[in-house]
Amino acid sequence: MSNLARQAIKIPSHISFRLDSNQLLFSGPLSDATIHLSVFVFIDLNINKITVTDKLLPIGLGNKKLDGKALQGSTFSLIRQNILGITTGFRKQLKLVGVGYRASVESTDTYQILNLKLGYSHKIYLLVPANLKVICLKPTVISVYGHDKQKVYQMAATIKSYKLPEPYKGKGILYQDEKILRKEGKRS
């Protein structure tokens, strides 16, 4: 268990929250979030703070085998991530490196489709989940934005998986801050 989990989480004034049995519900300017709890959470409404304990909730038989201290740190991190997500959101940027590699987004009222041209004989079409937003800042720069960190990073990883960067020429889809260690080519 980390020492951070022993601290109280300060909730900003523009976020409302409530506790329903084993769920913690948040409502913020961008969206709503729900966390399913396995450990006890104490809420001090006077100073808008949440404290996570290592005592397990008696909600099922499976919890008896789990360690409460491990779940305390995970629950603490989930609460902090959701607060950050519903206030500012998360963004992951990717860049396409290669001759002819292009990306574009087709948007309708209900869904978005990401078109990728990655040097294959066909285009790749990806349906973007409803709670995420994909923007092509340039034909070679893709930005994935949303309030759930796991879904944003998973979508970015899915996009990257269609053309992993190769170590000889450095071509492929890279994260914006990623560096590729280049290998030396074959000597003649």
Q: pLDDT exceeding 90 applies to what percent of the chain?
A: 45
Enumerate residue ranges in the chain where pLDDT < 50. 1, 61
Question: What pLDDT is attached to residue 51?
Answer: 78
The per-residue pLDDT for range 21-40, each reduced to its tens digit, is: 788 888 888 888 888 877 77
CATH architecture of the domain with residue range 4-87 = Alpha-Beta Complex (3.90)
41 beta partners: 52
Which residue in 93, 52, 98 sits closest to 71, CA to CA? Answer: 52
Fold of 90-175: Outer Surface Protein A; domain 3 (3.90.930)
Question: What pLDDT is attached to residue 75?
Answer: 81
Question: What pLDDT is attached to residue 76?
Answer: 82
Domains of the chain by residue range: 4-87, 90-175
pTM of the model: 0.81
Q: How far apart are alpha carbons 74 and 86 in whole angstroms?
A: 18
69 beta partners: none
DSSP state of 183: P
DSSP state of 47: T
